[in-house]
Structures are given as structure tokens and as C-alpha cells.
Structure 1
Amino acid sequence: MTTDDPNFAPYPGRYEVARIKGIPPNEDPVLLDITGEADVQERIDKIREIVERGPIPDGGLSWNHESRVVTVRLVAAVDGTSPEVERLKEEVLAEAEEFTVEFQEDLTVEFQSVAYSRQELLDLADHIFFSVAPGRQIAGGWSTSENRVEVLIGEGDDETQTLIEALDDKRIVIQIVPPGPWEVL
């Protein structure tokens, strides 16, 4: 099998493995794994699919590779009071357990209740960053961990205060930053 996908390459060490086992080398391309976390990322992607197709609006996922914790944010109480949330949690935890059994590595999942859905905040970020007048020093994006849209505004702009007032929304966190060599929108 050959592929033109740059994310695939021949299995490294295939000739040594084949020589030791006394078999022909496997020439099929395998997924490149620069970080060493391709298996974990594949499982996280499966967890994301479970959450996205679930009945509860999702507030985003994050992965902490140091603690090996996947945080699943849901726009619902995660305290055991909702049967729908509990079913979703069971399905996610089963996926994580399957990884633990298959790879003999822990994959911890934590659930967090948040106020806003991922889609709501992504839509808000798109609205903010694509409707600001060209030439303004503004940047930012959706913050999964904050469950808000973070907006960075360059200080010293004549219209900074007007922009701050226009962005008065509990879903937005504003940070004033020193002017710099920003790429202008």
C-alpha cells in the first residue's frame, strides 16, 4: 500500500524487526507520531465524537499530557443528577477504560460543568474577529479552559474604550496589551 498523505511514512525499524522475527518487512505506511501520543490522540478523538453526538451541548475538550487527563466540559450539571449526563459519562469512561486496557496506560477523564457551549463561543469569536473594522489591533479566540472568548486589545488605541464597551458580554474576557507588531486584521 502506498499513500501520498504526508502524515504517513514507512514503519521505522521495520527491517530490524523483520530480520529478528525472520519475516518479510512490513512496507505498509504507518501514521507518523512525532509527539509519541498518536494512540492517545486517536482515543481523545473518539471521546470527542461521543461527546459531540451526545444529547448534552459540549463545552470543549482539553488534554494535559503531563497529568494524562482529558477534561470533558459539558453545558450541564455533572454531579450525578441528570440521567442523560450520566449515560454520556459512562460511554466516555468506557472509551478511556478501553484505552487503558489496550495500552496498559492510564487515561484519566474529568468532567466539568460549564456555562457556554463550544459552538456558541466559536460563533461569538467568529462574529467578534470578523466584524471588527480593519486596522484595529485586536486578537484572541475561544479559550476552552476559561469557557469564554478571550479578546486582546492593543492599549493606546483611540477607540479602545469604545471597543471595550461594545464587547461588554459575560462570555468575553478582555485583556489590554501593549501595542506591538501585530498583524492587522
Structure 2
Amino acid sequence: MAAYMALHKYGSPHQEPCRDPMLYDTELTRGGLRLVQQLADRVAALQPRPEAVLVSPLTRCLQTATAACAQLLEQHRGARGEQMPLEVEPLLRERVTLSSEVGRPPAELRRDFPGLTFPGDLADVWWYTRGPGEDPRAVVREPQEVYEERLQALKRRLAARPERCLLLVSHWGVLNALTGLDLHPAEIATKEVQL
């Protein structure tokens, strides 16, 4: 399976690396939005063409997918007369280590991103927490073994899909685990992956 990877970044390079600013489900900065919009031509020119776009449900990834894939989606609709799948895949989410990896309920995300397809069974709390009844906004580091199990579940889900070429919009750690690539902000890479 060929998979294109797009990485985004939020925040300021001057932010202290170990201090959580307690900004939940962060959005792209203006600079980040400009970078993402500059990706649109490159995404539209990808060959072979992605058959579907899968995106993490964190807002910054949803913004990235919406802006960077706009031309690609329009070309697909014009050529085939049908909508290319642009699907939210919760297993692509970032590993919870900071407040920025704590998400928002699907109802809010659907309202803000009506052009994306969300899983019908997406729980109100789809990010890692200690368990039911816990404060969903508590920043609880996702244990390594839980993260690795989730990545294995993601690989199984990707392997079960019918497409041969996907565009994944996700986070550095997830994309690195899938591909071994060290992507930088606004970088797109093509990788043949064995699932």
C-alpha cells in the first residue's frame, strides 16, 4: 500500500518544550495555516492519486486536511463525479502527553468540519483517559503499551481497507511508527508500507 504522509505543527518555536501551556485541542497558527495552504498544489499533483484521505480527529489535523486537500478533492469530484472519501480515523490521533492532544466531542468537530466523514460510533471521549468517569480534560500520558496496541490496531484497520493508496494526515509519532520517516512540518512523503 502506498501512503502519503502529511505532518503539521502548531505553537511557537519559542515555547518552552517541557511546559504544557494547557491549550486543549490546539488550532494551527496563522503561519501553520499558510504552510498548509501552500501544500494544496503538491497534494493535488500526487501520483498515484490517493483513493481516500484519512485524518486524525485533532483540530489541527482536520484543518490541515481540509485546506491541503481542497484541490485534490475538487479534481476527484470533477473527474469522477463523486466525492473522494475524507474520513476521520481516531486511531491516527496523537499520543496524549500534553493538553493539545486532548480532543473535543464529535458533535463539536462535526459542526466545525461538516465536509468530513466521522465514524458513527466515535465516542464523545475518543482520546486516552484513565477510564470511564475520569475527567476527560485531565492530561493523562498514554502509556507506551496502550499506544503500541493502538498503533497495531491502526495497522490492522489500514490493511483491511480496500484502497491501495491513502493520504494520511496525522502526527509525527504515529507517522514515524508506521513508516520510520522523520517528517518535518508541511512535509509530504510517499512510502510503500507493509501492513
Normalising by the residue count of structure 2, what TM-score does the alignment of the two structures yield? 0.23
TM-score using structure 1 length? 0.24
Larger relative contact order (Cα-Cα within 8 Å, sequence gap ≥ 6)? 2
Q: Quick check: which has more Rg, 1 or 2?
A: 1
